[in-house]
């Protein structure tokens, strides 16, 4: 079945450091891929998405490229800020079939950025 | 903006109680979902619904039921609450139609349920 594997945290960085959070997926069809962010005490917010191979999603300085050949969707940011401290979830969604719209999540990666 | 509202941020219930968690969305989305979130386990799907009065089991439906009598409202029911159901519960909604389906799901703020 469909599944997502992301690197385990926690990840601790200094401000302005480079961030990579690895995410790989297994899917039978052609999924859409997402990164969600969860700030303390809140629900999940969509950070970025990509719907087909080689698409690059980007938002708030974060980027991720849909790599079909390596089944990956790694999250990157060139210079993190303290305000980026949160839990990040990689997810995939079936695009059709009986489970249309269902999201499969990785276990989340806690990011802490120190000033 | 899409708004998904969960009726409570925090709840404390006793073992054996029947518990109702309510979720309302205001964007006319067809799909609605209930997840629970636990440390180290990520988000796990309990139930989902593609239409009014329709429901499908997710990965961990045991001990839960759902109700969707109106398109905008999706309720999660704990028939007899137990301590192992202490968790964060997240409701989400999404659209099926056309490219809007690729937007992914929009989440409520979560309900932290403690069963004592």
Is some CB atom of chain A closer than 8 A to the CB atom of B90?
yes
B31, B33, B41 member nearest A107 (Cβ): B41
Question: How does residue B2 score in pLDDT terms, banded at 50, 70 and 90?
Answer: low
Tell me what pLDDT residue B40 has. 83
Query: How far away is chain A from the Cα of B88, in angstroms, using its nearest Cα?
Result: 10
Note whether A103 contacts B110, CB cutoff 8 Å: no
Measured between beta carbons, which residues in chain A are less than 8 angstroms from residue B110?
A: 42-43
pLDDT value for A100:
63
pLDDT 10s digits, B93-111: 988 755 544 677 899 999 9
Range of lowest pLDDT (A19-23, B10-14, B27-31, B87-91): B27-31
Residues of A near B (Cβ–Cβ under 8 Å) read 32, 34, 36, 42-46, 49, 51, 89, 91, 93, 95, 100-103, 105-108
State the best of B3, B105, B106, B112 to mutate against chain A, taking most chain A CBs within 10 Å: B105
Cβ(A91)–Cβ(B107) below 8 Å: no
pLDDT in tens, B26-65: 988 889 999 999 988 889 999 999 889 899 999 999 999 9
What integer is the mean pLDDT of B71-85?
97
**Least reliable range by pLDDT among A3-12, A70-79, B71-80, B100-109:** B100-109
B109 CB neighbours in chain A (<8 A) are 42-43
Give the mutation candidate from A5, A44, A94 for the B interface (greatest B CB count, under 10 A): A44
Distance in angstroms (rounded) separating the CA atoms of residues A102 and B96: 10
Among B37, B55, B57, which Cα is nearest to B46's? B57
The residue-averaged pLDDT of A75-102 equals: 86
Q: Flag whether residue B98 sits within 8 Å of chain A, measured between CB atoms.
A: no
Structure tokens at B26: 């205001």
Higher pLDDT, A99 or B90: B90
pLDDT, mean over chain A: 91
Partners of residue B47 on adjacent β-strands: B34, B57
**Per-residue pLDDT at B100:** 46
Question: How far apart are the CA of A91 and the nearest CA of chain B, in angstroms?
Answer: 9
Q: How far apart are CA A31 and CA A27, in angstroms?
A: 7
Instruction: Pull the structure tokens for residue A72.
Output: 């990956």
CA distance B61 to A106: 19
B19 — phi, psi (to 5°)? -120, 135
pLDDT (mean) for A48-55: 91
């Amino acid at each position: 079945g469909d599944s997502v594997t992301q690197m385990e945290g926690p990840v601790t960085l200094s401000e302005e450091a480079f961030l990579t959070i690895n995410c790989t997926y297994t899917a039978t069809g052609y999924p859409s891929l997402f990164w969600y962010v969860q700030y303390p005490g809140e629900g999940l917010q969509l950070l970025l998405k990509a719907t087909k191979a080689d698409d690059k999603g980007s938002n708030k300085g974060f980027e991720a490229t849909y790599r079909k050949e390596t089944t990956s969707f790694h999250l990157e940011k060139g210079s993190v800020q303290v305000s980026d401290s949160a839990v990040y979830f990689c997810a995939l969604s079936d695009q059709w079939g009986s489970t249309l719209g269902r999201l499969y999540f990785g276990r989340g990666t806690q990011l802490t950025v120190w000033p | 903006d899409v708004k998904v509202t969960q009726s409570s941020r925090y709840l404390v219930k006793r073992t054996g109680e029947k518990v109702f968690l309510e979720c309302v969305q205001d964007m006319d989305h067809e799909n609605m979902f209930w997840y629970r979130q636990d440390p180290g386990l990520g988000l796990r799907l309990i139930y989902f619904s593609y239409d009014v009065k329709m429901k499908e089991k997710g990965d961990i439906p045991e001990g839960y039921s759902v109700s969707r009598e109106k398109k905008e409202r999706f309720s999660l029911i704990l028939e007899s609450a137990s301590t192992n159901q202490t968790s964060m519960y997240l409701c989400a909604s999404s659209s099926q139609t056309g490219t809007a389906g690729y937007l992914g799901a929009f989440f409520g703020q979560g309900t932290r349920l403690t069963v004592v």
